[in-house]
Amino acid sequence: MTTFEAILLTIVTASTPLLIAALGELVAERSGVLNLGVEGMMAMGAACSFAAAITFDSTFLGVAAGILAGALMASLFALVVLGFAANQVGSGLALTIFGLGLSGLIGAPFVGARRDPVAHIDVPGLSDIPVIGRLFFEQDLFVYASIALTILVAIYLTRTRSGLTLRSIGENHTSANALGLPVWRVRFWAILFGGACAGLAGAYLALVYTRFWSPGMTAGRGWIALALVVFAAWRPGWLLVGAYIFGAATVLQLHAQAAQFGVPPQVLSAVPYLATILALLLLSLRHGRAIGAPGSLGVPFVPDR
């Protein structure tokens, strides 16, 4: 395997958690709920999945635990922002603070443990094609699942009745409510889906990307996922592009650090965060204010009678 191939493969691995987490958030935001707790849900997903995978020596149970942890965190958020109509920005932040703290508690006994690499799927014959063979036909299951999920979410949002309902609730919850659409129910499931995806993304980080657990290992990826949703103008297709651009930036930055260009490593470490700001800026320059943002995004819903 050449270095070039290796870099391409790590880009896929770095992009996948961003894509999965951002997809979940995209669905939640399309229903009109801004959940800033992605980072916290992701951290919980990582800690719980790693704890379960080590305890039961099973990647499958680990992934299930990660998804469940993310969904549980999301249901707490749903209770506060839907049940009590609390401020979404503040509650999301609280969820992140809570999740980062709690994940530290859960993961503490597992610091230092390691998991074996997850098996890669190998399509016989096709994976032997130079360069693209390994890239397209010898990835782990999660990579294919994330691509499939992107397509499914895109189809769901644009081609199904239920997706239309979700989008109309996100655009204008007052009108949707007047039409008799179940605003709370749809939002609850959308938030839960977002949490499950963030949990899965965290599980991928801990079980595939690093294969160990350390406090704060999400390192702002949840926030980058949130930025990606804005960058993609709330469209799943663009999310795929954006996630891979960011994954590439992260990986190339790491390789540049290893190559020692004489640039301080901290400058290169800052690249993903500066790139996020730059991406948001370029987007605003081209389109003006937050194009494609759902109309009711972030507004608490209280039905008037």
Partner 1 sequence: MRFELTPRPNVSPVMRALAPVAAFITAFLIAGFVIWLMGRSPAAAFDVYVLQPLSDPWSLQELVVKATPLALIAIGLSYCFRANLWNIGAEGQYVIGAVLGSWLALKTHGTDAGLWVLPLMLLLGIIGGALWGLIPAFLKTRFGVNEILTSLMLVYVAQLVLDYLVRGPWRDPKGFNFPQSVTFDPSATLHPIFEGGRVHFGALFALIAVLATAVILGRTLFGYRLKLTGDAPRAARFAGFSSKSTTMAVFAISGGLAGLAGITEVSGQIGQLQPSISPGYGFTAITVAFLGRLNPIGILIAALVVALTFIGGESAQILLKLPLDLTQAFQGILLLCVLAADALVSYRIRFVTRGGGK
Residues that bind partner 1 (CB under 8 A): 36, 40, 76, 80, 82-87, 89-91, 93-105, 108, 184, 215, 220, 223, 226-227, 230, 264, 266-267, 269-270, 273-274, 276-277, 280-281, 284-285, 288-290, 300, 302-303, 305
Nearest CB to partner 1, comparing residues 99 and 236: 99
> Buried b / exposed e across 138-147, counting CB within 10 Å, b at 16+?
bbbebbebbe
Supply the minimum distance, in Å, between the C-beta of residue 47 and partner 1.
10
**Do residues 223 and 38 touch, judged by C-beta distance below 8 A?**
yes
Nearest CB to partner 1, comparing residues 119 and 258: 258
Supply the minimum distance, in Å, between the C-beta of residue 83 and partner 1.
5
Nearest CB to partner 1, comparing residues 163 and 220: 220
Taking each helix axis from N to C end, the angle separating 271-287 and 236-259, rounded to the nearest 10 degrees, works out to 140
Nearest CB to partner 1, comparing residues 135 and 280: 280
Supply the minimum distance, in Å, between the C-beta of residue 259 and partner 1.
18
**Do residues 141 and 20 touch, judged by C-beta distance below 8 A?**
no
Nearest CB to partner 1, comparing residues 237 and 264: 264
Nearest CB to partner 1, comparing residues 204 and 223: 223
Supply the minimum distance, in Å, between the C-beta of residue 36 and partner 1.
7
Supply the minimum distance, in Å, between the C-beta of residue 199 and partner 1.
17
**Do residues 281 and 229 touch, judged by C-beta distance below 8 A?**
no
Q: Where are the beta strands (DSSP E) in the chain?
A: none
Q: Can you tell me which residue has the tokens 């549980």?
A: 72
Q: How far is CA 129 from CA 111, 126, 138, 141, 143, in A?
A: 39, 6, 11, 19, 19
**Do residues 238 and 298 touch, judged by C-beta distance below 8 A?**
no
Supply the minimum distance, in Å, between the C-beta of residue 77 and partner 1.
8
AA identity, residue 195: G
Residues paired with 120 in a beta bridge: 140
Q: Can you tell me which residue has the tokens 């530290």?
A: 104
Q: What is the DSSP string of 56-83?
A: HT-HHHHHHHHHHHHHHHHHHHHIIIII
